[in-house]
Amino acid sequence: MKTIFALSVLILMASLDTIGQKTLREATKGEFLFGVAVNMKQVNGVNPIETELITKEFSAIVPENIMKPQPIHPEENKYKWDDADKFVAFGEKNNLTVTGHCLIWHSQIGKWFFVDENGKDVSPEILKERMRQHINAVVSRYKGRIKGWDVVNEAFEDNGTYRKSKFYQILGKDFIKYAFQFAHEADPNAELYYNDYNVETPAKCDAIVQLVKELKADGCRIDAVGSQAHMHMNSPTLDATETSFKKLKTAGIHILITEWDISILPSPYDGANVSANFDYSREMDPYREGVPEAVQQQWNKRMLDMFGLFLKYSDVIDRVTVWGLTDNGTWLNNFPIRGRKDYPVLFDRNNQRKSVVDGMIKMAENYKSKK
Ligand code: G3I
29-62 burial, b if ≥16 CB within 10 A, otherwise e? eebbbbbbbbbbebbeeebeebbebbbebbbbbb
**Residues with catalytic function:** 154, 259
- Domains of the chain by residue range: 22-369
Instruction: Tell me which residue has its CA closest to atom 36 in ligand 1.
Output: 64
What is the tens place of the pLDDT at every residue in 11-32?
334 333 444 569 999 999 999 9
Correct CATH for 22-369 of 3.30.160.620, 3.40.50.620, 3.40.50.720, 3.20.20.80: 3.20.20.80
Cα of 121 from ligand 1 centre, angstroms: 25
Q: pTM (2 decimals)?
A: 0.94
What is the tens place of the pLDDT at every residue in 81-114?
999 999 999 999 999 999 999 999 999 999 999 9
- The answer, yes or no, to whether residue 78 has pLDDT greater than 50, is yes
What is the tens place of the pLDDT at every residue in 37-73?
999 999 999 999 999 999 999 999 999 999 999 999 9
DSSP H helical segments within the chain, as ranges?
Answer: 2-21, 24-27, 40-43, 48-57, 69-72, 82-93, 124-141, 166-171, 174-186, 202-217, 238-250, 293-312, 355-369
Predicted pLDDT at 15 = 38
What is the tens place of the pLDDT at every residue in 178-224?
999 999 999 999 999 999 999 999 999 999 999 999 999 999 999 99
Ligand 1 neighbour 284 (Cβ under 6 A): no
Ligand 1 atom nearest 324 alpha carbon: 32
What is the tens place of the pLDDT at every residue in 226-240?
999 999 999 999 999
Cα of 5 from ligand 1 centre, angstroms: 54
Predicted pLDDT at 275 = 74
DSSP notation for 211-277: HHHHHHHTT----EEEE--EE-SSSS-HHHHHHHHHHHHHTT-EEEEEEEEE--S--S--S--TT--
| Residue whose CB lies within 8 A of the most ligand 1 atoms, among 80, 274, 333, for a mutation test | 274
What is the tens place of the pLDDT at every residue in 265-323?
998 876 777 777 889 999 999 999 999 999 999 999 999 999 999 999 999 999 999 99
Cα of 65 from ligand 1 centre, angstroms: 6
| Residue whose CB lies within 8 A of the most ligand 1 atoms, among 61, 62, 64, for a mutation test | 64
Ligand 1 neighbour 169 (Cβ under 6 A): no
Predicted pLDDT at 1 = 43
